[in-house]
Amino acid sequence: MTAGCAKQPSGQGGAGADGQSAQAAKDIVETLAGDERFSTLVKAVEAAGMVEVLKGAGPFTVFAPTNEAFQKLPAGKLDELLKPENQEKLKDLVGLHVVAQNLTGQEIDQLEPETPIQSYSAEFLNVKKEGGKVTVNGANVVEADIMAENGVIHAIDAVLTPPQ
């Protein structure tokens, strides 16, 4: 057995002595909160009232915009969405990034080209793999398979927006 040489399957059992199992022992919200790249998304999840949903049993896949992705929004857009009176709009926006199934990078690789996947907000996401790159509604997956105990997170470089 070459345990030290083989690539460990991420979060598939959680009983190993490697760092992956410790990370996978946290839920989606705890995993996002533990990574500074997602601090803006965590604020949005909290303001949208979706913490309990994402702490639930799942499984979930979260296409998580990084802080840099949120900075690409038009000036003032995020501040506007974070206001209490816009909670439903923000919930729709956050829900667009959540899928109620576990989609690891390997499972995405096995999808048919341009497979529509229904998000938590009932909109469909267009997940594509082309030339080794995965995109979701045009946003690039910049890091795949950040494992949590109730699902998987894929970092993306843009905020997905609902159709107008």
Q: What is the pLDDT of residues 6-50, one digit of tens each?
A: 333 333 333 333 344 444 579 999 999 999 999 999 999 999 999
Residue type at 72 in one-letter notation: K
Predicted pLDDT at 161:
85
Q: What is the pTM of this model?
A: 0.82
Please check whether residue 50 is in contact with residue 91, taking contact to mean a CB–CB distance below 8 angstroms.
yes
Q: The domain 19-156: what is its CATH number?
A: 2.30.180.10
Residue type at 147 in one-letter notation: M
Q: Concatenated DSSP letters for 33-77?
A: HTSGGGHHHHHHHHHTT-HHHHTSS--EEEEEE-HHHHHTSPTTH
* 77-90: average pLDDT: 92
